[in-house]
Chain A
């Protein structure tokens, strides 16, 4: 091959580079390892992490069972090692699966259109906010304090510098009701004005409480603002009323057979009403026909996207989370209409079993997470004690809500065992 090229050594291939850009040394990275050594290294690192612990953490990342078939499907090289399906004729597998994904997300959320995925729930939120600003021509965002704190931080990062011509975007947070844990409607009313592009709420919210979405939608719409509905616990949609009153839904599908993996890779979704589709960022698959008149699928409405529109695009997103969205697609297929409801009902029962034993901070309806007051003990003391039983306790909330001292966010799923829940109750002194 070198002869063909007319080079005598491999080094000749970059001899044309100026000397100052050539790296003369060798990289300070240990020499190549065998497969066995690599497996061994990661096994050792895994052993340094929590192992075989029962886990009562939720807060945006949930321990749900992953059906075996999910990895069977996504491990097929045809899905795993293919690129974004730009060449429709040899990508019908990926395109068909994405079309099914888009359909299922619409069925689940009550929206008309869903894109092919976003990086995760947290980045879907600012994309939804920007979308609402383009649609309404306004630049105020009102966000509930009960939206996941890290999602709100990401929203802050994205909006802080957005479009200097508009001199920044104004993000206003509104409060929760200390009794119910739901949105404080009076506080929301104060946050709304003629410049509000979007009202952003999460349900079940960060405290696990179900919001009165319909009422909030009416308040937002009365001011000409859009409602952005956020979810972090997708399993809840098996049982809870879909947010059909919202204009845009931004969510996280981690609960659908996506392992916690220390926080990623996950898959976000962005869905909306039909009339807003031209402002929806991200990839979309559409149905069409091939030259023989047979049904076929392809990427479509690309004029919204960066590779066509460059700086005028709806977003800079290119690579999304296709394979992870496929995991969720297989999960939704296996559980299906009845299974997702049964799964959600089990989650509800488990959480209420433990919730009923503890002193819950909020009285609003809850799904599979709730805030428990720790009483005279500190959250840290309780969690330390639980670790002795190989149980990881809930999330102490003062980390994100300084006013919520001695409060722990606990999550129960179908994987929570009764004995472990009893141990948690005991540690709380219940």
Chain B
């Protein structure tokens, strides 16, 4: 029987468990320099396990080949444009990876004496300062592990701040264009979600909002620019409305890549916001994490930030736990420090002017794509685009070709798809965010691909519907996966 049935050896890789053979291993341990201990004697026989059934048994060469082969089945920024809207898939500079592996940063224990961690403190303090400057805020916590974690932290702070005034209130307003994490975070913080519809320009309607805000509203969560890539033009007015009723304004900073250096939320009424260091500040997404979701706040909210806080004295940096109004810890230790190192390296490489220039280039790229694609795809809202643009598949859907099908066909043209069917308020959304790190050459290839697919949708919709054709796996049956879940290898 011929084992290698596909074109390339890497196209036929088995699971680790299927290639294991007894006795194979890829590890070495130093010779033990102390007496051996019998596990059954030390721990009690009832506490000692039998062998780990099914666990891999492969050599080092087997292992590297396995994972290298798997890697070739992945698309990545390093291979080309990755235009996922609201995900900010920009180039991940490799110097950031190098500095995060500095010996004295990588091998430091969170409980070692503060005097032996002064370099780590300095990095965190510098990053807090830079993020406060970029957002126009007064204080920053670096503890949250991801954007959604930052949202929860922020809304818990809203609750603590209002509670301190005697009434935590009941509801948080969330626009219908928001990421799903927003309403989910609100719920976890013990609030009711009140959805508010966007107006026909894709923005919050200040007048409609004014009617909704009462003494039960604790806060609004606004993504700005919103998920349509549109700047909320009435944002300062929205803030005034909320503040007049004693409520707070939370900004989801997922789209801060549109604002760094040109607009600071702290300057126009935002009380607190989170940032996604794995978006705006270039730390790698790594196939789904790690992220980091610092929360920046105005002075009034500082007492409620998570424990502990950085503090500086003539003797050096240390952690301050004496903060009675704090919401407490949201995570063990101090945050995803390794991600913080990378983000600071990014900020240092750019400087203030460079960050602003990156923002302008992100706007340029998004608006260029919008202009080039507008004749072929229906723009969802006429309002000006910031760092991303959202189309609807309405024209193509007339021929039975949906945004999902166009996305799969894009793969055959060598690109990762845009964000599909989000935001939910756009029928058949194509949400496209090129980021500043793409060249005109790459953007033009992408434009030509999408124009070509629009033509295919007109002339030969079947061709689009069956895509992709070029990948290792053809169209994956996600419905079957959910109907009868197989969530681990069963041998």
Give chain B residues whose Cβ lies under 8 Å from the Cβ of A90. 73-75, 411, 416, 468, 471
Minimal beta-carbon separation of B259 from chain A (angstroms)? 8
B64 interface contact, C-beta 8 A: yes
Assembled-state Cα–Cα distance A123/B289 (Å): 15
**B56 / chain A contacts, CB cutoff of 8 Å:** 104, 332-333, 336-337
Q: Once the chains are docked, how many angstroms separate the CA of A259 from the CA of B102?
A: 11
Complex interface: stretch among A60-68, A131-139, A193-201, A219-227: A60-68
| A324:B136 contact, CB within 8 angstroms | no
CA A11 – CA B356 in complex, angstroms?
Answer: 11
- Is B286's CB under 8 angstroms from A322's CB? yes
From the candidates A47, A76, A161, A288, name the one contacting B71 in the complex (CB within 8 A): A76
Are A46 and B34 interface neighbours, CB within 8 A? Answer: no
Find residues 1-40 in chain B having any chain A CB closer than 8 Å to their own CB. Answer: 13, 15-17, 20, 23-27, 29-30, 32-37, 39
Contacts of B347 in A (CB 8 A): 29
Contact of B459 with A by CB under 8 A: no
- Cβ-based interface call for A150 (8 A): yes
Residue of B nearest to A31 (CB): B351
Q: Which residues of B contact A317 (CB under 8 A)?
A: 146, 148-149
Knowing A154-B331, A265-B290, A330-B67, the reply to whether A323 touches B284 (Cβ < 8 A) is yes
Q: Which residues of A contact B331 (CB under 8 A)?
A: 119-120, 122-123, 154, 264
In whole angstroms, how far apart are the Cα atoms of A302 and B226 in the complex?
Answer: 24
| Complex CA distance for A416 and B211, rounded to whole angstroms | 66
Q: Does B394 contact A (CB under 8 A)?
A: no
| Closest Cβ–Cβ distance, residue B209 to chain A (whole Å) | 17
B116 within 8 Å of A (CB atoms): yes
Q: Mark A70-83, 1 if CB is under 8 A from B, else 0.
A: 01111111111111
A336 near B24 (CB under 8 angstroms)? Answer: yes
Once bound together, how far apart are the Cα atoms of A47 and B119, in whole Å? 7
- Do B188 and A260 touch (CB < 8 A)? no
Task: Indicate if B197 sits at the interface (CB-CB under 8 A).
Answer: no
The answer to whether B106 and A261 have CB atoms under 8 Å apart is yes
Bound-complex Cα distance A150 to B335 (A): 13
Cα-based distance from A21 to B352 in the complex (angstroms): 18
Q: How far is the CB of A409 from chain B (nearest CB, A)?
A: 9
Provide the B130-141 mask, 1 if CB < 8 A to any CB of A, else 0. 100110100000
Known: A50-B117, A80-B286, A82-B76. Is A262-B193 also a contact (CB below 8 A)?
A: no
- Fill in one digit per residue for A34-62: 1 if any B CB lies within 8 Å of its CB, else 0: 01011101111111111101010101110
B56 → A minimal CB distance (Å):
5
- How near does chain B come to A143, taking the closest CB pair, in angstroms? 15
Name the segment of B230-238, B295-303, B395-403 touching the other chain: B230-238
Q: Give min CB distance, B393 to chain A, whole Å.
A: 17
8 A Cβ contacts from B113-129 to A:
113, 116-120, 122-123
Whether the Cβ atoms of A301 and B482 lie closer than 8 Å is yes
A/B pair count, beta carbons within 8 Å: 663
* Contact indicator B475/A291 (Cβ below 8 Å): yes
Residue of B nearest to A6 (CB): B371
B99 and A38 contact, CB distance less than 8 A: yes
Q: Mark A292-315, 1 if CB is under 8 A from B, else 0.
A: 101011111111011111111101
Asked if A63 contacts B49 (CB within 8 A), the reply is no
Q: Number of A residues contacting the other chain (C-beta, 8 Å)?
A: 192
Chain A residue nearest in CB terms to B419: A86
**Per-residue 0/1 for B277-309: is the Cβ within 8 Å of any A Cβ (1 yes, 0 no)?**
010000011111111100000000000001100
Cβ–Cβ contact B349 & A38, under 8 A: yes
- Decide: B147 and A319 in contact? CB cutoff 8 A: yes
* Given contacts A35-B95, A286-B485, A92 and B473 within 8 Å (CB-CB): yes
Q: List residues of chain A with CB within 8 A of the CB of B27.
A: 67, 334-336, 339, 342-343
Cα separation A377 to B30 with both chains bound (whole Å): 34
Assess the A288–B481 pair: CB atoms within 8 A.
yes
Interface positions of B from 39 to 63, Cβ below 8 Å from A: 39, 42-44, 46-49, 51-58, 60, 63
Query: What CA separation (Å) do A14 and B48 show in the bound complex?
Result: 65
Q: Hey, what's the 0/1 contact readout for B247-266 against A, CB within 8 Å counting as 1? A: 00000000000001111100
Shortest CB distance B414–A (Å): 10
Q: Mark A128-163, 1 if CB is under 8 A from B, else 0.
A: 000000000000000000001011011011101111
Asked, given contacts A21-B236, A324-B290, whether A286 binds B476 with beta carbons under 8 Å apart, the answer is no
Contacts of B350-394 to chain A: CB distance below 8 A? 350-356, 360-361, 363-365, 367-368, 371-372, 384, 386
Q: Which of B34, B109, B336 sits near A265, CB closer than 8 Å?
A: B336
Q: Given A22-B262, A89-B408, A92-B70 in contact, is the A294-B39 Cβ separation under 8 Å?
A: no
Give the 5 A-B residue pairs with the shortest CB-CB distance, closest first: A46-B104, A263-B333, A323-B286, A77-B78, A27-B352
Give 7 new A-B contacts, CB below 8 A, not counting A21-B231, A306-B181: A30-B351, A73-B64, A89-B474, A96-B15, A122-B329, A322-B285, A336-B57
13 contacts between A and B (CB under 8 A): A14-B386, A21-B263, A26-B261, A49-B108, A55-B109, A79-B67, A87-B408, A89-B474, A96-B70, A290-B473, A323-B287, A345-B37, A421-B34
